[in-house]
Amino acid sequence: LRKNLSTNYGKNGEEKAMSSRDKILIQLREGKLPFSGISKPDSYRAMVPIDDKTQPALQSQFIEQAQMASCVVYQAMTPEEAIETVLTLIGEEKTISSWDPEHIPIPELAEVLDNAGITCIGQDANVRIGLTGIDAALAATGSIVMLSGEGRFRASSLLPSVHIAVMTAEQIMPDLESWWAKQKNAGLERLRQHSNIVVITGPSRTADIAMELVMGMHGPRELHVVILE
């Protein structure tokens, strides 16, 4: 059964004739390709069926699922209310890791933080609070989608022990399937301009010790989601 592929190597000098890439691809194409009777799915079912896709229904589903994933969710009717929530969560901290203000959907926030004497830095391993916006939220799974980019530091949602994500209600979409459909419509080339995409569902956790759940293993221990209506 096991055939030694390296027999394709010749004696000195001929080695360059066939790269490992070629060897692997030739071996794969050696016989008849498998599963020839299988065609790709005509249509795809979504993992979570959603009956009601109106905005209020999606919002309550998002909140419920995010809470099940151990997020703490806040609904703010006004920007002032959202700012109040963020300030309370920051508490006594004077330095936080934060995305640039234009990527967080409360225009007044930067000034308020500045006036409160809170310094926002991009990344530092020692800060306790990370503050970010999001790209989209998924109702089916209570997830938030974050794209990397200029002023949208990965570290802010990764190194601190508390992550505060600020979003607007309009950013809620049904599910991962519809998020990808939207990206495809806009052109996947555009999405590939982001070096890193992460879908976050709740705070970091582990169950490696005797299946006991512990929050905050390597990433944040708390994930606070502030929804601005």
Partner 1 sequence: MKINSKNFIPAAQVAIHDPDLQKAVSTGTHSGFTKRQAAMFADGHEHGEAMRQQAATIKRYSLSILPELLEQAEENMQANGIKVLWAVDAEEANQHVLEIAREHHVQSVVKSKSMVTEETGLNHTLEAAEIKVLETDLGEYIVQLGEETPSHIVVPVVHKTKASIKKLLIEKAGMPPTDDTEEMAKFARETLRSRFLDADMGISGGNFIIAETGSLCLVSNEGNARLVTSIPRIHVALVGIEKVIRSVEDYATLTQVLPRSATGQIMTVYTHIINGPRLAGETDGPEHVYVILVDNGRSEIYTSDYCEALACIRCGACLNACPVYQITGGHAYGWVYPGPIGAVVTPLLKGLENASPLPYASSLCGICKEVCPVDIDIPRMLLDVRRDLVKMGESDLIWDISIKLWAQGMRSERIFTMLGQTASLGQNLISKKLAGPLSGWTDYRSPPIFAQKSFHQLWKERRGKSNEQP
10 binds partner 1 (CB under 8 A): no
> Using the 8-state DSSP alphabet, how is residue 129 labeled?
E
| C-beta neighbour count of 11 within 10 angstroms | 6
119 binds partner 1 (CB under 8 A): no
Task: Kindly identify the residues of this chain, within the stretch 151-180, that bind partner 1 according to CB under 8 A.
Answer: 151, 153-155, 158, 176-177, 180
20 binds partner 1 (CB under 8 A): yes
Q: How far is the CB of 226 from partner 1 (least distance, A)?
A: 19
214 binds partner 1 (CB under 8 A): yes
2 binds partner 1 (CB under 8 A): yes
Q: Which residues of 63-77 are buried (b: 16+ CB within 10 A; e: fewer)?
A: bebbeebbbebbebe
CB 52 within 8 A of CB 146: no
Q: Which of 13, 45, 77, 115 binds partner 1 (CB under 8 A)?
A: 45
Which of 169, 174, 161, 178 is closest to 225 using CA atoms?
Answer: 169
Q: Which is nearer to partner 1, 106 or 158 (CB)?
A: 158
CB 83 within 8 A of CB 106: yes
Q: Which of 10, 15, 47, 80 binds partner 1 (CB under 8 A)?
A: 47
